[in-house]
Amino acid sequence: MEQLIRQIVCFGAFCLCFIPGGIAQNQNNSAKVDTVSIKFFTDSIGLEEVVVKTKKTPSANSRWSDISPVELATQGGANGNLYKALQTLPGTQVQGESGKLLVRGGDSDEVQTYIDGMHVLNPYTAAGINTPVRARYSTFMFSGINLATGGAPLEYGDALSAALPLDTKDKSVINKLGINLSSVGLGGGGTKAFSKGSLSTNFDYQNLDIYDRLYPGRVEFEKPYRMASGAAQFRYHPDEANLFKLYVEYDRTDFSNYAMEDNRLFSLGENNFYLNTTYTKRFSNDWSLFAGAAYSYYRQNVGGAVVADDSWMERQQEVHLKTKISKRISPVFRVEGGVESFLRQYDNNYENVGKATTESSSVNLTRSVHPAIYGGFVTSTFYPFQQLKTELSLRTEYTRASDHLSISPRFAINYYWDDLMLSATLGRYTQLPQNEYLIQSSRLLPQVCDQYNIGGQYKSGGRFYKAEIYYKKYTHLPLITPMDSESSVYPDNVESYSTEDSESLASTGYGYSKGVDLFFNDRSLWTNFEYQLSYTYNISKRKYAGYRELVTPQYATRHNIALVVKYSLPSLRSIIGLTNQFASGRPYHNPNLPGVMNDEVKPYNSLDLGVTFLPSRKVIIHASATNILCRKNEFGRTNDKPVLASSDHFFYIGVFVTLGKKAAYDVSNF
């Protein structure tokens, strides 16, 4: 019985459904009993933040939920995709045509991902025309997943709206080996554990050829979407005070399809490499040290990017170096500080010398920019009595290209009253403009966002409720303005807009975003039943990029609702999940009406289904379907035509099988 329980515990949330009895206990009490002295300290994080892992979680006032990998896998319609599952949390907004994560009125570039405290330059997979992306990294790598939608710690730099810190597991003591087969590909991996560490590997191959033949969408592929990826992680822990991790991942993606508007052949090839290494040491005098380095490389080649026979190359590189120390000065006071640098390079090349192009009109343009950020941060945490916690932080950043020094303060306070916590944060956050603007003017100032958050949360007996009011003020946004102030142009697609000789680009844009987030999660209402309800009300206005008036950006929606329900059937060893997402219509510019960004498309609605089945202790079957009502959702309009996703729905089924004898299939190969 004990062995079966240990095997099923590796499935995380599954254990609530499949453990038939109690845990057997060791009845041998004949061993000598030593006297143990236990000394308690009031920690600088509240009980509401404690999860079953040794890593530090973000402050409670910035956290909506700790999401386990199994919860992601069993969420209807998520298909194991980290970013799609996170879009059911408050503050997020659906962007079905790209699949990227948007938070509280900010665009997708304002959300930054960190793995073990180190920055990930490009966390999304490649995407075609209106094709949603996925997370490059398996959700099962991580011991827990937190999303800081507002008031994030200043340790996470260059993140204007939100930070997504992900922590990998520190140890793996069991040898594991497994394979998986799905409707879109196959994979496998495992872990070899030794006395003071472990080595894990994983391989995945995806090919949508058969899927596209059975369930064709709006895109006609010449070569189907294919992606091959391999990853490995080495962990070494000689003792409890020292931990070394090294993670490396590479993936290759390619496909080609015919563009719907002019039937040109669009082809894409992409290479992505990521290396992450960290070292953590705890000293006996309550000091701790962290040092890390990360390297990201990304290159994409596109044929038929704008017209037939042209080519586009984009390459990005980043070296992220970081060191921090922390010290518990006393039971009620703790300090933490560190320094880091982001060293980046971005290059692109556009070439159009095809047969249809004359020599006089041929184009071969190469551009490059090398931005760098040097930053330092310090945080002091003080809790004069058990119910009150305060944090005061300061971050400074020097941007080399613009020769600009930024100073960003942050203050947070939490008050605990039984099961209720009240919180407030205010802070300043900075981020470099997007590469498409920096490559035109590298001396643009860092964008600035001042955030103000007030909220409360209640957690007791399987219930977690939270409400938060927020206000964000944007300054120093990149703004394209005509040299002749009397002229005015409002492009439908700002991302494709570029400056010309008659225009200027400056850090004079501004805007705001304000709203309310509500979150309800209940696991105790009925036996074997859980629901999660999220609601976000947001008003966002910006004068930036090609928008020369204060308008609602094309990606922002006023109302966003997500309902997730799960019901477990222990007798059938299965979990059924339903997810319904609703968003009010996204704005667009209708030339037939007065004003700018003056109309909305129809509201978005998608009902998704997921079923997880455990036929034996070494086999997991998971099936998922998105938008099962086949609703045709619109994400804007261009030239009076709706912007639609490449497909209205997606179907997935996967089988995960254990090959080892000692352990059931662990959904985490890491």
Measured from the Cβ of residue 299, the count of other Cβ atoms closer than 10 Å reads 15
The per-residue DSSP string of 516-551 comes to EEEEEEESSSSTTEEEEEEEEEEEEEEE-BT--S-B
CA 311 remoteness from chain centre = 30
Q: Rounded to an integer, what distance in angstroms lies between the CA atom of residue 418 and that of residue 657?
A: 45
Q: What integer pLDDT is reported at residue 68 of this predicted model?
A: 67
Of 119-123, 231-235, 643-647, least confident by mean pLDDT is 643-647
DSSP H helix total and E strand total for the chain: 6, 33
Measured from the Cβ of residue 235, the count of other Cβ atoms closer than 10 Å reads 22
Work out the mean pLDDT of the chain and round it to a whole number: 83
Q: Supply the pTM of this predicted model.
A: 0.86
Q: What integer pLDDT is reported at residue 433 of this predicted model?
A: 95
Measured from the Cβ of residue 290, the count of other Cβ atoms closer than 10 Å reads 19
Q: What integer pLDDT is reported at residue 501 of this predicted model?
A: 55
Sign of torsion over alpha carbons 316, 319, 114, 116: positive
The per-residue DSSP string of 179-204 comes to EEEETTEEEEEEEEEETTEEEEEEEE
Q: What are phi and psi of 7, to 5 degrees?
A: -65, -40
Of 149-153, 579-583, 635-639, least confident by mean pLDDT is 635-639
In terms of residues, how long is the chain?
A: 670
Q: What is the pLDDT of residues 453-475, one digit of tens each?
A: 999 999 998 899 999 999 999 99
Q: What integer pLDDT is reported at residue 94 of this predicted model?
A: 84
Bigger pLDDT: 324 or 546?
Answer: 324
Residue linked to tokens 């470099």? 432
Nearest alpha carbon to residue 540 among 468, 471, 594: 471
Q: Rounded to an integer, what distance in angstroms lies between the CA atom of residue 427 and that of residue 58?
A: 15
Nearest alpha carbon to residue 133 among 111, 116, 117, 148: 111
What residues have CB less than 8 Å from 210, skipping those under 6 apart?
183
Give the burial class of 462: count Cβ atoms within 10 A of its Cβ; 0-12 exposed, 13-18 middle, 19 or more buried. exposed
* DSSP category for residue 361: G
| Domains (range + CATH), the chain | 2-26+58-305+326-352+363-658 (2.40.170.20)
Q: What is the pLDDT of residues 47-86, one digit of tens each?
A: 222 222 323 333 444 444 556 666 766 677 777 788 888 8
Q: What integer pLDDT is reported at residue 500 of this predicted model?
A: 54
Distances (CA, A) of 200 to 117, 137, 234, 256, 278: 20, 14, 6, 33, 16
Q: What is the pLDDT of residues 157-196, one digit of tens each?
A: 899 999 999 888 888 888 888 888 999 899 988 889 998 9
> Is the predicted pLDDT of residue 32 greater than 50, yes or no?
no
3-class DSSP state of 315: strand
- pLDDT (average), residues 543-557: 91
Range with the largest mean pLDDT of 5-19, 132-146, 528-542: 528-542
Q: What integer pLDDT is reported at residue 80 of this predicted model?
A: 73
Q: What integer pLDDT is reported at residue 145 of this predicted model?
A: 73
Q: What is the pLDDT of residues 230-263, one digit of tens each?
A: 999 999 999 999 999 999 999 999 999 887 777 7
Q: Rounded to an integer, what distance in angstroms lies between the CA atom of residue 157 and that of residue 112?
A: 9
* Whole-number percent of the chain with pLDDT over 90: 51
| 76 contacts 610 by C-beta, under 8 angstroms | yes
Of 271-275, 341-345, 539-543, 617-621, least confident by mean pLDDT is 617-621
Q: What integer pLDDT is reported at residue 484 of this predicted model?
A: 54
Cα Rg, the chain, nearest whole Å = 25
